[in-house]
Chain A
Amino acid sequence: MKLLRHRRIVALLTMLTMLVRLAAGCGGAKTTSGDKTGGTESGDVVKLGFLGALTGSVANYGIPGKKGMEMAIDELNAAGGILGKKVVGIYEDNKGESSEVANITQKYISRDKVNAIVGDPCTGLTKVAAEICQKNNVVIFSAGATGTGVVEYGDCVFRNTLLDKFAVPAVVDWMINTKGWKKFAVVTSLNNGYSTALTPVFKEAIKAKNGSIVIEESVNDGDTDFSAQITKIKQAKPDVLVFTGYYNEAALMQREAQKQGLDIVLVGGDGLYGQDLCKLGGKAVEERVIFYCGFSSDQPSPETAKFIKDYRARYDEDPDMFSAQYYDAVMILAKAMTDAKSTDPAVFKKELAKVKDYPGVSGNTTFRPDREPIKSPICLITIKNGKFALLEKIPVKVE
Chain B
Amino acid sequence: MFWQQLINGLTLGSTYALIALGYTMVYGIIQLINFAHGEIYMFGAFAGLFLVTRFGVNVFVAMLGAMIFCMLLGMLVERIAYRPLRGRSSRLSALISAIGVSIFLSTLMVLIRGPQTDRYPDTIEISSFSLGPVQVSSLQVIILLVAALLMLGLQVFIHKTKMGKAMRACSEDLDASSLMGVNVNRVISFTFALGSALAAAGGVMVGLYYNAVWPYMGLMAGLKAFAAAVLGGIGSIPGAMLGGLCSGVLEIFGVAYLASSYRDAIAFGILIVVLLVRPQGILGKPISKKV
| Chain A residues within 8 Å of B, Cβ to Cβ | 3, 7, 11, 13-15, 17-18, 20-22, 24-25, 28-29, 31, 55-57, 59, 95, 190, 217-220, 222-225, 227-229, 231-232, 235, 248, 251-252, 255, 258-261, 276, 279-280, 282-283
Partner of B8, one of A14, A223, A224, A231: A231
Residues on B with C-beta less than 8 A from A231 are: 1, 4-5, 8, 256
Within 8 A of A (CB), among B227-282: 252-253, 255-256, 259-261, 263, 272, 275, 279
**Interface hits, B9-61 → A, CB 8 Å:** 9, 11-12, 33, 35
B130 surroundings in chain A (CB, below 8 A): 261
| B211 and A255 contact, CB distance less than 8 A | yes
| Chain B residues engaging chain A, CB cutoff 8 angstroms | 1, 4-5, 8-9, 11-12, 33, 35, 92, 95-96, 99, 102-103, 106-107, 110-111, 114-117, 119, 122, 126, 128, 130, 135, 137, 139-140, 206, 210-212, 216-217, 219-220, 223, 226, 252-253, 255-256, 259-261, 263, 272, 275, 279, 288-289
A20 to B98, CA, bound (A): 12
B92 touches A13 (CB 8 A): yes
* Minimum-distance CB pairs A-B, first 3: A227-B8, A224-B210, A228-B255
Q: Provide the main secondary structure of the chain A interface.
A: helix
What is the chain B residue whose CB lies nearest that of A21?
B99
- A248 touching B114, Cβ below 8 Å: no
Question: B255 to A229, Cβ gap below 8 A?
Answer: yes
Which residue of A18, A55, A252 is within 8 Å of B211 (Cβ)?
Answer: A252
Please tell me if the beta carbons of B260 and A55 are within 8 angstroms of each other in the complex.
no
Across the two chains, which residue of chain A brings its CB closest to B291? A2
Distance between B255 CB and nearest chain A CB, rounded to angstroms: 4
User: When the two chains form their complex, are residues B211 and A3 in contact, meaning their CB atoms are under 8 A apart?
Assistant: no
Residues of A within 8 A of B272 (CB): 15
The CA of A21 and the CA of B128, in the complex, are separated in Å by 38
Residues of A within 8 A of B11 (CB): 227
Q: Give Cα A186–Cα B277 distance, bound, in whole angstroms.
A: 39
Given known contacts A21-B219, A259-B126, A219 and B260 CB-to-CB distance under 8 angstroms: yes
Is the Cβ of A56 less than 8 Å from the Cβ of B126? Answer: no
Residue of A with least CB distance to B98: A17
Contact assessment for A190 and B261 in the assembled complex, using a CB-CB cutoff below 8 Å: yes
Cα A235 to Cα B134 with chains together (Å): 12
Bound state CA distance, A228 and B248, in angstroms? 11
Contact call A280/B102, Cβ cutoff below 8 A: no
Complex-state Cα separation, A29 to B115, whole angstroms: 9
Instruction: Pick the residue among A7, A57, A222, A283 that contacts B122 (CB under 8 A).
Output: A283
B110 nearest CB neighbor, chain A only: A29
Shortest CB-to-CB span from A325 to chain B, Å, is 21
A3 and B289 within 8 A (CB)? yes
B111's nearest neighbour on chain A, judged by CB, is A29
Find chain B residues with CB under 8 A from A224 CB. 206, 210-212, 217
Contacts of A11 in B (CB 8 A): 275, 279
The distance in angstroms between the C-alpha atoms of A235 and B256, with both chains bound, is 12
Please, could you name 29 A-B residue pairs with CB atoms under 8 Å apart, sorted by A?
A3-B288, A3-B289, A13-B92, A15-B272, A17-B95, A17-B99, A20-B99, A25-B106, A25-B219, A28-B216, A29-B111, A59-B114, A218-B261, A220-B263, A224-B212, A225-B8, A225-B252, A227-B252, A228-B252, A228-B255, A235-B1, A248-B212, A258-B126, A259-B140, A260-B4, A261-B128, A261-B135, A280-B119, A282-B119
A17 to B102, CA, bound (A): 12
B211 adjacent to A220 (CB under 8 Å): no
What number of A-B contacts does a CB cutoff of 8 Å give? 127
Q: Give the docked Cα–Cα distance between A29 and B119 (Å).
A: 21
Q: What is the distance, in angstroms, from B220's C-beta to the closest C-beta of chain A?
A: 8
Chain B residue nearest to A6 in the complex (CB): B289
Checking B111, B119, B206, B256 against A279 with a beta-carbon cut-off of 8 angstroms, the contacting residue is: B119
Known: A55-B114, A218-B261. 5 other contacts (CB 8 A): A21-B102, A227-B252, A228-B253, A255-B211, A280-B117
Question: Which residues of the partner chain B approach A17 to less than 8 Å between Cβ atoms?
Answer: 35, 95-96, 99
Chain B residues with CB under 8 Å of A248's CB are: 117, 212
CB B272 to nearest CB in A, in angstroms, measures 8
Expressed in whole angstroms, the Cα–Cα distance for A260 and B212 within the complex equals: 18
A279 to B223, CA, bound (A): 28
How far is A43 from B61 in the complex, measured between Cα atoms in Å?
62
Chain B residues with CB under 8 Å of A259's CB are: 126, 128, 135, 137, 139-140
Q: How far is the CB of B231 from chain A (nearest CB, A)?
A: 13
Q: Could you tell me if A55 and B115 are in contact, using CB atoms closer than 8 angstroms? A: yes
Write the chain B residue with the least CB distance to A191: B261
A57 to B288, CA, bound (A): 48
Complex Cα spacing A225 to B106, Å: 21
Pick from A21, A55, A95, A280: contact of B212, CB below 8 A.
Answer: A280
- Which residues of A lie under 8 Å from residue B115 when comparing CB positions? 28-29, 55-57, 95
A4: nearest chain-B partner, CB-CB: B279
Name the A residues within 8 Å of B122 (CB-CB): 282-283
